[in-house]
Amino acid sequence: MSPSRKGDPLEMKRINRRAILEALKASRSLTRAELARRLGLTKSTISSLMDQLLGEGLVAVELTPQQGEGRDKPLLGRPGLGVTLKPLGAVALGAELGVENSVVLAVDWTGAILLREEWSADPQTPLSERLEGLIQVIREGLRRHPEALGLGLALPGVVDARGWLRYAPNLGWRDFSVAEMLQARFSFPIYIENDANSSAAGEVFFTPWQGQLAYLMLGTGLGVGLVHAGTVLRGANGAFGEVGHWLGRSRTRCRCGRLGCLETEVSLRAMLEHYRALGGKAEDFWQVLKLAQGAQRLALEALAELGRALGRLIANLAVAYDPERVVLGGAGAEAWAFLERPLRQALEAHAFLREHQRLEVQPSRFGHLAPAMGAAALVLHSFLASGGLRERPASPVAMR
């Protein structure tokens, strides 16, 4: 963003601090002189703001051993010294309540995972009970990382702008104010988001690539998070990207109660049912994946069919949203080695434009942890947007 030179001094300070932090995040390391030139600010303004950011532990000065020898503190007055974001300068908690699992992470703004807790969950457990269990783990996370700026939570359903979970069809949860319940237990900012949107937010925050992105969330269900100009698109009710509930010609009844939803054909649950129909025996996706890694024919066939279905879906997404890049995330990303070839073959066969045949498709580097990583990114994005100032959020949803 462009720094400000007019208006309220406190607002100017916030905007200029944000510009510095965003420049450092994008470039990893810049000298004070480079920042002044890039942002169009005076060297004295940069020096003053750098003193503040250094004192708050948000940035660090890069010194060679010779430069740092005999010094208790680095000298920001030297314009040739590189400045970076301090890795532990901002830490957030990110959590996911999945259909069959829960995750809590502590993450810094470089994407380093400082704490990781995962456990399985019974899909029949009521939401309030799942949240109580999550709260206990979050409290332990706060005991170990009291510096955490806030909590982001990813949920497998439609989440509105007030932090209400409107509908999670794979769990039967409806109309629950998750943000209100968590905010009553914790005094720091809380952000609630759909799992696909959260994952897309994390992809944008933790990677240098910026552009038109479609994040394909492949898990028990199916969803897409869409990013345009750095903003996650949400729609009027938070249902933007719920492609798993596009209607097709299947006669299989979806967990939402309708016939023919796309996720009855394209999801890990659908893949598992196909594997069993072929004669295979497995309890879950992870067992099928392990069998595929052992070259079992039925497992390889079931994953190849899923890859072909994903390729056709991406061909449709390319027509509907025309993204520059598609990222496959969720647990399904961990099967990329078996999905990639049939996916690319199907995409090439069904693409509407020649450009779509060459559409960049990659797995998320965060795998099944992507929703929780993205939830932490919601907190860190808000902190960065505030210029590194601790503020309570105006909304339980960030990166809007």
Buried b (16+ CB within 10 A) or exposed e, 305-330: bbbbbbbbbbbebbeebebebbbbbb
Distance from CA of residue 117 to its chain's centroid?
17
**Do 91-200+370-386 and 218-364 have matching folds?**
yes
Structural domain boundaries in the chain: 8-60, 91-200+370-386, 218-364
Enumerate the β-bridge partners of residue 154: 96, 193
pLDDT of residue 139: 96
**Class of the domain covering 91-200+370-386:** alpha beta
Amino acid at 111: G
Amino acid at 286: W
pLDDT of residue 76: 47
pLDDT of residue 2: 54
The 164-168 sheet, strands edge to edge: 158-159, 164-168, 173-177
Superfamily of domain 218-364: ATPase, nucleotide binding domain (3.30.420.40)
Profile the chain (400 residues) by mean pLDDT over runs of 10 residues: 63 92 88 91 91 92 55 50 90 95 95 96 93 96 95 95 93 94 94 95 85 92 90 89 88 91 94 96 96 97 97 96 94 96 97 95 93 96 90 48
**Class of the domain covering 8-60:** mainly alpha
Tell me if residue 51 falls in helix, strand or coil. helix
Cα(197)–Cα(183) distance, integer angstroms:
21
Q: Are 121 and 130 in contact (CB under 8 A)?
A: yes
List strand residue ranges (DSSP E) for 144-301, in order.
Answer: 151-155, 158-159, 164-168, 173-177, 190-194, 213-218, 222-228, 231-232
